[in-house]
A and B are shown apart, each in its own frame.
Chain A
Amino acid sequence: MRVLVGMSGGVDSSVAAALLAEEGHEVVGVTMRLWGGDSDTGCCSVADVDDARRVAQQLGLDHVVFNFSDDFDERVVSPYVEAHSRGVTPNPCIECNRHLKFDRLSERARVLGFDAVATGHHARLERDSAGRPRLARGADRDKDQSYVVHMVDAEELERTVFPIGHLSKAEVRDHARRLGLRTADKPDSQDVCFITSTGGRERFLGDRIPLRSAPVIDTEGRHLGEVPSVEMVTIGQRRGLGLPGGGPLRYVVDVVAEPEPVVVVGDGADLLRRSVDVESVTWVDGTVEGRVRAQVSAHGPAQPARSVVTDEPGVIRIEWEEPQRRVAPGQSVVLYDLDDRWVLGGGVARR
Chain B
Amino acid sequence: MDGLLYLDHAASTPMRPAAVQAMTPFLTDCFANPSGSHRFARTARRAVDEAREQVAVSLGVLPGEVVFTGCGTESDNQAVTGSVAHRGGVAVTSAVEHHAVLDPVLASGGVAVAVDETGHIDLDELTRVLRSNDTVSVVSIMTVNNEVGTVTDMAAVSKVVRREAPGAWLHTDAVQAACWIDLREVTPLVDMLSLSAHKFGGPKGVGVLVVRGGAAPAPIIRGGGQERERRSGTSNVAGIVATAVALAETDAERDVEVERVSALRTRLVESISSSVDVHETVPSSASVPGVAHLCFEGIENEALLFLLDTEGVCASAASACASGAMEPSHVLAAMGLPRKLAGGALRLSLGHTTTAEEIDAAAQAVVSSVERLRGAR
Contact = CB atoms under 8 A, between A and B. Distances in A.
Contacts of B306: 64, 112
Contact of A112 (B307, B320, B322, B325): B307
A46 B321 CA distance: 9
Nearest to B318: A67
Contacts of B376: 110-111
B37 interface: no
Contacts, number: 45
B346 to A, nearest CB: 16
B324 to A, nearest CB: 4
A108 interface: yes
A64 B307 CA distance: 12
A52 to B, nearest CB: 10
Contacts of B323: 31, 33, 44-46, 49, 65
B325 A33 contact: yes
A298 to B, nearest CB: 27
Contacts of B307: 112
Interface string A235-255: 000000000000000000000
B326 interface: yes
B325 A65 contact: yes
How many chain B residues sit at the interface, stated as a range, is 10 to 19
Contacts of A33: 321, 323-325
B307 to A, nearest CB: 6
A66 interface: yes
B41 to A, nearest CB: 40
Contacts of A43: 321-322
A306 interface: no
Interface in A39-83: 43-46, 49, 53, 64-67, 69
Nearest to A49: B323
A66 B325 contact: yes
A112 B300 CA distance: 11
Interface string A87-127: 00000000000000000000010111000000000000000
Given A110-B376, A111-B373, A53 B324 contact: yes
Interface string B296-314: 0000101100110100000
Contacts of A110: 376
Nearest to A53: B324
Interface string B319-343: 0111111110000000000000000
The binding surface of chain A is classed by DSSP as helix
B373 A66 contact: no
A49 B303 contact: no
B322 A66 contact: no
Contact of A67 (B302, B309, B322, B373): B302
A66 B302 contact: yes
A110 B307 CA distance: 12
B362 to A, nearest CB: 19
Nearest to B299: A111
Interface centre among B302, B306, B320, B324 (most CB of A within 10 A): B324
A67 B303 contact: no
B303 A111 contact: yes
Contacts of B322: 43-44, 46
A66 B320 CA distance: 11
Nearest to A111: B376
B324 A49 contact: yes
Interface string B145-177: 000000000000000000000000000000000
User: Which one of A44, A66, A112 has the highest number of Cβ atoms from chain B below 10 Å of its Cβ?
Assistant: A112
A110 B302 CA distance: 14
A332 B324 CA distance: 33
Nearest to B377: A111
B92 to A, nearest CB: 28
A31 B322 CA distance: 13
A64 B301 CA distance: 13
Contacts of A49: 323-324
A187 to B, nearest CB: 20
A229 to B, nearest CB: 32
Given A110-B376, A111-B373, A44 B325 contact: yes
B159 to A, nearest CB: 40
Nearest to B376: A111
A33 B324 CA distance: 9
Nearest to A44: B323
Contacts of B327: 67
Contacts of B303: 108, 111-112
Interface in B320-375: 320-327, 373
| Shortest 4 CB-CB contacts between residues of A and residues of B | A33-B325, A67-B325, A65-B324, A49-B323
13 contacts: A33-B321, A33-B325, A43-B321, A44-B322, A44-B325, A46-B323, A64-B306, A64-B309, A65-B324, A66-B302, A67-B302, A110-B376, A111-B303
Interface of A: 31, 33, 43-46, 49, 53, 64-67, 69, 108, 110-112
